[in-house]
Structure 1
């Protein structure tokens, strides 16, 4: 069975962030763009950056965790769980096994 997908563009990306991680997930919420990404350099972890203006400017990194023992991590996904509140879940390799970790966080007012 073949599937076809249509790419829909809503406009150009204004400015790239200066994060060293590969953005795993972008989310548009409450007029802002939320980018969650893995940090694969020491200290290993995951972070979030927020653009209130469609990508023209970006917040400083919000570090969700920086205690991962290995660089085999990331692929975060973020979902809103309430007004200004979010849940981010990511993968983390741990030798013979892997785990899913999470962080609940909020946008400061």
Structure 2
């Protein structure tokens, strides 16, 4: 992340793929930034008990929702072909929430792994009633 002198730099909607970098020395130095095939923001990373890494993120284009992607090799690659859709009801095809003329707003997911191995992802979502809600999805990788 970089802050511009004016703070006004914005990223065009079509450029909101997630990027990643890594460090082999505990954060003293970092690799060059590389683009992933995951589109969305902001991401949340979770190291699962299996050793896999889960990335959950808001998906702010039609159909708006919350998605997740898994890496089984320490974030070297992501299983984008098996992207997990947790919600896809944030925006209808006419560009409104539930067809009620309300602009869509959702995101900032955070996921935790529960003691039984299931996952619990919480996020905010503004629905057709124009009220912002805290919502959650309880799910399992083997059922996604």
Structure number with higher strand proportion:
1
Q: Same fold (TM over 0.5)?
A: yes
Note if contact 1:41-1:71 (Cα within 8 Å) is conserved in structure 2: no
RMSD: 2.6
Greater relative contact order (CA < 8 Å, ≥ 6 in sequence)? 1
Distance 1:47 1:33, change over 3 A: same
For the pair shown, the structure with the greater C-alpha radius of gyration is: 2
Gapped regions of structure 2 (runs ≥ 5): 1-25, 91-96, 98-102
What's the TM-score once normalised by structure 1's chain length? 0.78
How many aligned residue pairs are there? 102
Deviations 1:47-83 (A, max 9, x none): 0101011111212210001011253110000000134
What's the TM-score once normalised by structure 2's chain length? 0.61
Distance 1:97 1:103, change over 3 A: same
